[in-house]
A and B are shown apart, each in its own frame.
Chain A
Amino acid sequence: GEDVEQSLFLSVREGDSSVINCTYTDSSSTYLYWYKQEPGAGLQLLTYIFSNMDMKQDQRLTVLLNKKDKHLSLRIADTQTGDSAIYFCAEKNNAGNMLTFGGGTRLMVKP
Chain B
Amino acid sequence: AAGVIQSPRHLIKEKRETATLKCYPIPRHDTVYWYQQGPGQDPQFLISFYEKMQSDKGSIPDRFSAQQFSDYHSELNMSSLELGDSALYFCASSAEPGQGIDEQFFGPGTRLTVL
Q: Which positions in A face B, CB cutoff 8 Å?
A: 4, 31, 35, 41-45, 48, 50, 88, 92, 96-104
Contacts and interface: CB of A to CB of B under 8 A. Distances in A.
A102 B37 CA distance: 12
Given A42-B109, A43-B106, A102-B42, A97 B101 contact: no
Interface residues of B, number: 27
A16 B79 CA distance: 48
Contacts of A103: 41-42
A21 to B, nearest CB: 15
Contacts of A96: 48, 55-56
Contacts of A31: 101-102
Interface-central residue, B48, B104, B108, by most chain A CB under 10 Å:
B104
A16 to B, nearest CB: 26
A84 B70 CA distance: 40
A47 B43 CA distance: 18
Interface string B27-55: 00001010100000111110010000001
Contacts of B42: 4, 88, 101-104
Interface of B: 4, 31, 33, 35, 41-45, 48, 55-56, 58, 90, 92, 94, 97-98, 101-109
Contacts of B104: 45, 99
Nearest to B6: A42
B55 A97 contact: yes
Nearest to A98: B45
A99 B92 CA distance: 11
Nearest to A88: B42
A2 B48 CA distance: 18
A27 B100 CA distance: 18
Contacts of A48: 101, 103
For the complex of A and B, the 7 pairs showing the least CB-CB separation, nearest first, are: A96-B56, A98-B45, A101-B42, A43-B106, A42-B106, A97-B97, A42-B108
A16 B105 CA distance: 30
A4 B108 CA distance: 23
